[in-house]
Structure 1
Amino acid sequence: MTNYSTTHQQQQDISDHLLLQDKDKATMTEPKKPELKIMLIGKTKAGKTSSMNTLMGRDPVYSLPSASSDTTECTSETREFDDYKLVIIDTPGMLHTKKTKAELEKTLTDAIVHAAPGVHMFLLVTTHRAESKGDMESWKILQEMFGENTKDYTLALFTKGDIKPLSQEDFDGRRIKGFSVDWHTFDNKENTIPDQVPELLKKINSIVQNREEKKKMYTNEMFQQAQKIKEEMEKKMREEQEKQGKKPEVDEEGIIQATVKEILSQFAGEKNCKIVFDVVTWIKNTVEKLC
């Protein structure tokens, strides 16, 4: 007769094995959620910041602790939403009419570095009202900034949807259609509307998924060059932390600001000299066209 009983040692071995399996499951990291990077662009007071608040699930009139009514710096924030990690970039000072060339260079550099190596969608934020000549000029400027091929990566976001809901027919009759591939409406006064953010993200994701694999994200040489400098700044920061006996930690905003400073200073090390020069030259030439 076969003896199916187990010894105390065998039971202990089985118990230890199951315990190890449970530990392995507990320590297994969840797979990273795919990133969806969105940049808000448009004229001053078009509703970019309130749209960012809506996307982040906040009160539309919320202000960052460091922000003021005169804030014109780019900011980026992340949020996990369903199956995605959203990265939202706000560009409040991109088309500020009273900026000097130096300030405009700083703003443009800031935007490029925040977005590097590229974005999945530009949200061209505008109001529901009739388009003006100034609107057209501003959209042309944004196209100059990021490249003519941005149309296929731009979605028009109409704010103040509570005042005048838009239809596809309305969009088809507007000149902004020449700068965007699709459209959506936000009511930023009511962040309790359950479907407006999911519907927008569903629309963006559908557009992204229908692109060719190599064209999922909009990028160009300047975004790629900025990414190289950003990676070099991160490496430099980690090395300095290790020298000081600190645990290397990634300070994303610190890396961004160090990269912006590196580009604008034009005093880069030999390794970065060429790519920094290329970025600075492009920024200066672009700003020259805009002023």
Structure 2
Amino acid sequence: MERRWRLSGLTVHYEIWKDCLQDYKAGIVSARSDYFSKMINDSQRREEKQLRIIPLGKTGCGKSETGNTILNGKFFKAKCEPISVTKISASQTATVHGRSITYINTPGVFDTSLSDEELEKEIIISFIRCSPGPHAFLIILKVETYTAHEIEIVRKIRSLFGEGVLKYAVVLFTHGDNLDEDQTIEQFVSKNSELQQLVDKCGGPCHVIDNKYWNNKKKGYRSNKVQIKNLLSTISKMVEKNEGYRECYSNEMLQALGKYNEVRIQQLREELKGRSTEKIRAEAEEKTYRWAKSSQSHRGATEWLRAFLGSVYPCFGKHCSSVDQDYTPMLLKNE
């Protein structure tokens, strides 16, 4: 009788222990589920705070200085010279107003010191660096007379990137101190119908900064701090209008470039142990560019660039539908 009671007691204790173990395991599963859910949510929130920007404009319009002003630091070399200071694409990331901003600096659209092939290479590399694509383009113009040359600059941008580029673009004027006293940039734009038409077609209102005279002013219209905050607000609204931060100016070609570059970086990290991250990234970008170029060898120089940028077969984000089926498989297959 006493033995049965002891066995019964052991059974009771075993059942209690088993229930506790199940509760413990359930708690671990629940905790893991909560942990991974939190990781996903945190990742999504970080993604929503990230902003990738590519400036476009002629040589000397102030793209490098504008990058320094937006990121609030001395990241890009900027000099007052008749030739382009920026010969190769460069990117920098900084936190501005609680948001991670990546600014991918590019050579001038009409940089005569670069050959067409060199310019095309830097444009492609700039897109590799902001894979899967930029959230916004800044069409940078000076506060000055809007001449036939500026009109041709904008025409070339639209020709290379397609009409869809304006949906992702904001016009930003530099040299704001050239405005008349009490004149706003909107009033300046309204005096030229073609300039007004360009601004109206873009994804948001235009803005103005002065990289020389407005840096130390904290308040008022002629303050870079105020203007940059307004610019980023405009870009954020434009991004939301374009279906959110996970949607950007992209297509299957550009996404394939990004994936190929990621694979190359992983391979080179194994092959080139001890090399700096910057050198590995630069070599991966070079190999990715060569791979992209070889996959488009049947096209002319400008035509293949347009194919990648979407002006021949435009497709943005998840709305891709009309990609050239003849060369897409070639691009996506292994070397």
TM-score, normalized by length of structure 2? 0.63
Whether the aligned pair in 1 keeps the contact of 2:144 and 2:178 (CA below 8 Å) is no
Q: Do 1:44 and 1:92's aligned partners in 2 also have CA atoms closer than 8 Å?
A: yes
* Unmatched tracts of structure 1, length 5 or more: 1-27, 267-274
Equivalent residues in 2 for 1:3-18, closer than 5 Å: none
For 1:155, give the aligned amino acid.
V
SS of equivalent residue, structure 1 residue 162: helix
**Structure 1 residue 166 and structure 2 residue 184: aligned?**
yes
Quote the residue 1:185 is aligned against.
Answer: 208
The 5 Å alignment of 1:39-188 reads 39-58=54-73, 63=77, 70-164=85-179, 165-172=183-190, 173-176=192-195, 177-178=197-198, 180-181=202-203, 182-188=205-211
For residues 206-245 of structure 1, the aligned pairs below 5 Å read 206-213=237-244, 216-240=247-271
- The one-letter amino acid of 1:258's match is E
For the residues of structure 2 that align with 1:201 and 1:80, how far apart are their CA atoms? 12
Deviations 1:198-256 (A, max 9, x none): 11111111111122248731112332122122112122123336xx5x7xx993x4454
Contact 2:63 2:105 in 1 (8 A): yes
SS in structure 1 of the partner of residue 111 of structure 2: coil
Quote the sequence identity (%). 25
Higher Cα Rg, which structure: 2
Partners of 1:282 and 1:51 in 2: how far apart?
35
| Residue 261 (1) aligns with residue 251 (2) | no
Count of aligned pairs: 244
Query: What TM-score, normalized to structure 1?
Result: 0.71
What displacement does 1:183 show?
A: 0.9
User: Aligned pair in 2 of structure 1 residues 215, 171: CA closer, same or farther (>3 Å)?
Assistant: farther
Aligned to 1:284: 301
Aligned match of 1:36: 51
Q: CA deviation at 1:31?
A: 4.1
CA distance in 1, matches of 2:246, 2:166: 13
1:246-269: CA deviation from partner (whole Å, max 9, x where unpaired): 7xx993x44542243214444xxx
Q: 1:86 to 1:77 in 2, by over 3 A?
A: same
Instruction: Note if contact 1:78-1:85 (Cα within 8 Å) is conserved in structure 2.
Output: yes
* Larger RCO, structures 1/2 (Cα 8 Å, 6+ apart): 1
Change (3 A) 1:71 1:226: same
Alpha-carbon separation, structure 1, partners of 2:300 and 2:133: 16
Aligned to 1:270: none
1:175 deviates by 2.1
Structure 2: how far apart are the matches of 1:112 and 1:171? 30
Task: Note the residue ranges of structure 2 that are not aligned, 5 or more in a row.
Answer: 1-37, 217-222, 307-335
Shift of residue 83, structure 1, vs aligned partner? 2.7
Q: What SS does the aligned partner of 1:195 have?
A: helix
Could you tell me whether the CA contact under 8 Å between 1:144 and 1:286 is conserved in 2? Answer: no
Superposed CA deviations along residues 151-178 of structure 1, whole A, max 9, x for unmatched, are: 1101000011122043434434442443
What amino acid is aligned across from residue 269 of structure 2 in structure 1?
R
Distance 1:59-1:254 versus aligned 2 partners, 3 A rule: closer
Structure 1, 198-207 or 229-238: larger mean CA deviation = 229-238
Give the structure with the larger helix fraction.
2
CA distance in 1, matches of 2:107, 2:69: 15
Q: Is the 8 A contact 2:59 2:84 kept in 1?
A: no
Could you tell me how far apart the structure 2 residues matched to 1:280 and 1:88 are?
Answer: 30
Cα pair distance change 1:98/1:82, threshold 3 Å: closer
**Contact map agreement 2:170 2:206 (CA 8 A) in 1:** yes
Retained in 2: the 8 A contact 1:105–1:287? no
Over the aligned positions, Cα root-mean-square deviation in angstroms equals 3.3
